[in-house]
Structure formats: C-alpha cells, structure tokens
Amino acid sequence: MYALDERDRAILEVLRENSSLSIGKIARKTSIPIATVHHRIKKLRAEGIIKKYTIVIDKAKLGQKLVVHILIKAIPKSDHTALLEKLMRTEQVEDGSVITGEFDLIIKVRLEDIEALDKFVLKYLRTLDEISQTQSMIAYRNMVKE
C-alpha cells in the first residue's frame, strides 16, 4: 500500500479539479517546486494511484437526462463479475457493482427518456441469458462528486 503525504494529496486535489493543468500551474497552486511536482506525479502514475487523465462530460446537456439505477438478479451459478464486465462495455452504463442481498448487481445507466429505458431493459438486459430479474429505480436528482 502506498502512503500518501500532504504533498501527494495537494497534487491529487489539484489534478482532481482540473487534470489538464501544466506541471507549472500545479506547482503554483500547491506551492510545491516544479521538479517535485513532476517527480511526484511520475511516481503516483508508476504506483497506479493515478490511472488515467480524463474529462467529465455533462451527459444531460447531450440529451441523456434520465438516470436510472437497475438492480439485477443473475441466474444461479453465473459469473457475476463477468456479467458486470459485459454490462460495463455498453455505452449507457456509467457505473456498476456486484452487491450482496437479494440482487446480485446494480448498475447506473443514463438515457434520453423512458422509451430508451424501456428499450435498454426489455430489448437488452432481459434478453441476456445470465439475467433472471431486474428492478429499475429512476432517480429524481443525481449528483456526481467531481
């Protein structure tokens, strides 16, 4: 396990806010020397703490305003991890987990409207041999920690 210190945390916080900043801007924002910032980022990447740099897309502005959490019950003896990996490859699925309890998985999907939800559940999820039951929960509000 890698132990983060205050400098690492400061660098990660700045990168979390805006991963496109230059090393120099990160150094100014954190009051850490440029060479140290460069070295720390390189080390954090090598350790796998920083996996990738990405962007956050506002999908609601692209017409995908409906957020739905779907509970999934898999058939007995199915590979839940493999099923989750399969579902994560679909464009609509934003997040997913293998869970405990009555259901085996939960996924978060973002769709255009109720018709798209109907199509996703009835024409995709319920046609998969590994899935025996689904339960959809539409979110009234959705917040993302950025």
Q: What is the pLDDT of residues 5-56, one digit of tens each?
A: 999 999 999 999 999 999 999 999 999 999 999 999 999 999 999 999 888 8
Angle between the 6-17 and 23-30 helix axes, to the nearest 10 degrees?
120
Residue 109 has pLDDT above 70, yes or no: yes
CB 109 within 8 A of CB 140: no
- DSSP letter at 89 equals T
> Cα dihedral angle (117, 123, 127, 131), rounded to 10 degrees?
0
| Residue 60 banded pLDDT, cuts 50, 70, 90 | confident
Residue 127 has pLDDT above 80, yes or no: yes
What's the order of all strands across the beta sheet hosting 66-74?
Answer: 93-98, 105-111, 66-74, 131-138
* Domains (range + CATH), the chain: 6-46 (1.10.10.10), 59-138 (3.30.70.920)
Residue 146: its pLDDT value, please? Answer: 64
How many Å apart are CA 49 and CA 2, to the nearest integer?
A: 8
How many Å apart are CA 125 and CA 87, to the nearest integer?
A: 9
How many Å apart are CA 135 and CA 72, to the nearest integer?
A: 7
CB 71 within 8 A of CB 138: no
Residue 12: its pLDDT value, please? Answer: 95
